[in-house]
Amino acid sequence: MRDFRITTHVCLIARALGANTVILSDIIDKEVEKVIKRVIEMWGGPFSIEMGVPWEDAVNKWKTEGGIVCHLTMYGENIETSDVMSRIKEEKKDIMVIVGAEKVEKKVYHLANFNVSIGNQPHSECGALAIFLDRYFKGESLSKDFENARLRIIPQPHGKKVIKIE
């Protein structure tokens, strides 16, 4: 069972935290696509969503083209206590991050160049993805300007302020 809300959260986190693209493997979910496209339209990009690509094809293509694959899993090397993040950065390559909402196939653990745990406790692919990207980009994504945004927030200590960009 795929959960619409969780998939949407994963996509929104990916966009807000600095990813360029999200691939929903094996499925086509028009509802998620609609939400994400609406967010891009209002809040800017660049960001894209692909759907229905078999995960193994996507992974193999990525690796063939010179990218590396990081799989986030509670069983992997601990992002805090191991040197896994330094080793990922040393590669200086484009990164595909895999998060598996549901049961992840064993093969993923072997095809991935790095299996990274965001703590070795059960939690959430949303939380794991957010922390991975925040640490990878050293927080830079949290201040980036999105292109072609129609709305922008002016941060406030109390209350909400949104401006429309004409």
As a whole number of Å, the end-to-end CA separation of the chain is: 42
**Residue 80 in the binding site for its own copies (CB under 8 A):** yes
**Cβ closest to its own copies, residue 28 vs residue 142:** 142
**Residue 21 in the binding site for its own copies (CB under 8 A):** no
Q: How far is the CB of 30 from its own copies (least distance, A)?
A: 19
Q: Where are the alpha helices (DSSP H) in the chain?
A: 4-16, 30-43, 55-64, 84-91, 106-111, 125-136
Q: Six-digit token pair at 150?
A: 């129609």
**Residue 160 in the binding site for its own copies (CB under 8 A):** yes
**Residue 60 in the binding site for its own copies (CB under 8 A):** no
Q: 100-128 burial, b if ≥16 CB within 10 A, otherwise e? A: ebeebeeebeebbbbbbbbeeeeeebbeb
Inter-CA distances, 43 with 9, 102, 104, 120, 159, Å = 16, 29, 32, 34, 19
**Residue 59 in the binding site for its own copies (CB under 8 A):** no
**Residue 81 in the binding site for its own copies (CB under 8 A):** yes
**Which one of 24, 43, 59, 70 is in contact with its own copies (CB under 8 A)?**
43
Q: Which residues bind its own copies (CB under 8 A)?
A: 3, 5-6, 9, 12-13, 15-17, 39, 43, 74-82, 109-110, 112, 114-115, 117-124, 126-131, 134-135, 139-143, 146, 152-153, 155-162
